[in-house]
Chains A and B, each alone.
Chain A
Amino acid sequence: MTGVTATATAAAETGASHQAVFDAAVAADERIEPRDWMPEEYRSSLVRQMAQHAHSEIIGMQPEANWITRAPSLRRKAILMAKVQDEAGHGLYLYSAAETLGTGRDELLDKLHSGRQKYSSIFNYPTLTWADVGAIGWLVDGAAITNQVPLCRCSYGPYARAMVRICKEESFHQRQGFELLLALSQGTPEQHAMAQDAVNRWWWPSLMMFGPPDDASAHSAQSMAWKIKRHSNDDLRQRFVDIAVGQAEALGLTLPDPALRWNEERGHHDFGEIDWTEFWEVLKGNGPCNEQRITQRRRAHEEGAWVRDAAAAYATKQQAQHANGEATA
């Protein structure tokens, strides 16, 4: 038995059922590892969440890559290229982590391409100006970090460890996005307006990244009981708003919400109602870029098929040659 430590081992020695050993491990905040027994629903729920997370990294390359060839300075271009490269790397970690649960990257990509698995709704919005690259870094990565830092303590070991590494890089991206927006905000009037417009367009979609409200979230309760999730959607969203308000002030930009104000009694910011109709429409595939994003992903995969076939054929030939070499040696 790997990973499941003291408490669960004790439970196992008393002849408890697999389920009891698992429950004891989760209750004791121990990590579940790939070879440990786990309930099928825990496994499938994790596969769904990790695959969706990996897909988001891969689809999320598109809105930013849209600006690589137009980045306005060589320094910004280098930063953006490095970021998009990191995202591909995050996708790779997460597919590997998901594979420890008995699935495969090909299978997961197939589910993405056929629409059976989702990716974050945020990437269905278009990047219309250079400032959008900054708004994505600041707000979208900021929301992602708020969501992901608690996942570093997720009960499934490979996922938690992937998140530790990913969160470090994401924090770096977020600071870079903030710095990009600051340069625009303090630049010419046109640049300032470009930054404000981007924040206006990305603010609400960023709040939607935390998912539906707690009373409409299908998987939340079970995920929290399993300690995959540590905080509710609404709690994380509130945490993000509280942090973003101060950062917007530092940027010299406003947030597009007339209802946004400090609530002394709650010790939090109140904010306006999210347009849940838009959220569900985007989730259903009717957002501004859903069709474009998935079409590009499918096309890259289909047009790359002959390359992957070539690599596989070459590897087979090399193995055969190697085997022949050993046989005659």
Chain B
Amino acid sequence: MTALVSTDAALALGDDALVLSHRLGEWAGHAPVLEEEVALANIALDLLGQARILLSQAGDEDELAYLREERSFRNLQLVEQPNGDFAHTIARQLYFSTYQHLLYGELAALEGEFTGLAAKAVKEVDYHRDHAELWTLRLGDGTEESHRRMQQACDALWRFTGEMFQPVPGLDIDWAGLDARWTASVTTILSRATLTVPEGPRTGAWAAGAGRQGLHTESFGRMLAEMQHLHRSHPGASW
């Protein structure tokens, strides 16, 4: 890689972290148990920290977060999905943190512009993955109701998982290999949790790869409206 930072890659990874952090921030004061107030906020903060570093590599973090419109965001559709119930939040965390852990693991081993960030973030992400795995086991192999909800959440979010392995310009990664390792890891966890690996399509639909091109799902615009409103109401102000 050259010394030039790949803006596409920094935005893709940065937007993933920014948007998921925002969704997790919506849980504050609503978690099922106090320990999860702490845990979800903790994960949200880690992700926000990653987002700030990545967006700063691509430009001014606040301009990028607050002044871009929906069509310019490069995050995966998976991370923008509404929180739903706790099972949906955990399924989203399981899918994404497993992906992020594998991806950052590879980036940390490569000599490139993201080596430093990935080496630091991979430790945080390992904790996120661990948290998601534990809750997947508890919910999947807990009560009948929690099993039903967890299965439903895994099924509902499955169609957004193929997009994670669409190549990102500027990232020199074996995407098919990453996909295979992700599938193996998620399959193991779901089966330990007595859950069935969903069977629906993961790629091929219009959705696969769309978020990376600025094509998002409907709830995303509303999320941005809330996130950006105050900043946009005071052009040029500092906070």
Query: A residues engaging B (CB < 8 A)?
Result: 58, 61-62, 65, 68-78, 81-82, 84-85, 88-89, 91-92, 95, 105, 130, 180, 183-184, 187-188, 190-191, 296, 299-301, 303-314, 317
Contact = CB atoms under 8 A, between A and B. Distances in A.
Contacts of B152: none
In the A-B complex, the 10 residue pairs with the smallest Cβ-Cβ separation, listed nearest first, are: A304-B32, A310-B142, A310-B146, A85-B41, A65-B28, A88-B37, A307-B32, A314-B138, A65-B29, A73-B239
A69 B26 contact: yes
Contacts of B38: 85, 88-89, 92
Contact of A61 (B26, B37, B137, B226): B37
B210 interface: no
A77 B146 contact: no
A306 B37 contact: no
Contact of B29 (A188, A300, A308): A300
A119 to B, nearest CB: 13
B146 A306 contact: yes
Interface in B137-168: 137-139, 141-143, 145-146, 149
Contacts of B10: none
A70 B138 contact: no
26 contacts: A61-B29, A68-B26, A68-B28, A70-B226, A70-B230, A73-B239, A77-B48, A84-B28, A84-B41, A85-B41, A85-B42, A92-B34, A183-B238, A184-B239, A187-B237, A300-B29, A303-B85, A304-B31, A304-B33, A307-B36, A309-B146, A312-B142, A313-B142, A313-B143, A313-B146, A314-B137
Interface string B195-234: 0000000000000000000000000000000110111001
A313 B33 CA distance: 15
Given A74-B48, A81-B48, A306 B145 contact: yes
A12 to B, nearest CB: 38
A180 B239 CA distance: 7
A74 to B, nearest CB: 5
Residue from the set B22, B45, B239 with the largest chain A CB neighbour count within 10 Å: B239
A71 B34 CA distance: 23
Contacts of A303: 30, 32, 85
A135 B229 CA distance: 21
Nearest to A57: B34
Contacts of A73: 62, 66, 231, 238-239
Grouping DSSP codes into helix (H, G, I), strand (E, B) and loop, the B interface class, with mixed when no group exceeds half, is helix
A72 B137 contact: no
Contacts of B30: 296, 299-300, 303
A83 to B, nearest CB: 9
A72 B234 CA distance: 9
A32 B71 CA distance: 62
Given A61-B29, A68-B26, A300-B32, 19 more contacts: A68-B25, A69-B22, A72-B234, A72-B239, A74-B51, A81-B48, A82-B45, A85-B42, A88-B37, A105-B34, A296-B30, A304-B32, A306-B143, A308-B33, A310-B146, A311-B33, A312-B142, A313-B143, A314-B138
Contacts of A180: 239
Contacts of A92: 34-35, 38
Contacts of B45: 78, 81-82, 85
Given A306-B149, A310-B142, A191 B48 contact: no
Contact of A188 (B36, B139, B229, B234): B234
A85 B38 CA distance: 5
B86 interface: yes
B239 to A, nearest CB: 4
B59 to A, nearest CB: 13
Contact of A85 (B32, B37, B66, B234): B37
A310 B146 CA distance: 6
B32 A308 contact: yes
Contact of A191 (B32, B65, B86, B234): B234
B86 A304 contact: yes
Contacts of B42: 85
Contacts of A62: 29
B61 interface: yes
A111 to B, nearest CB: 16
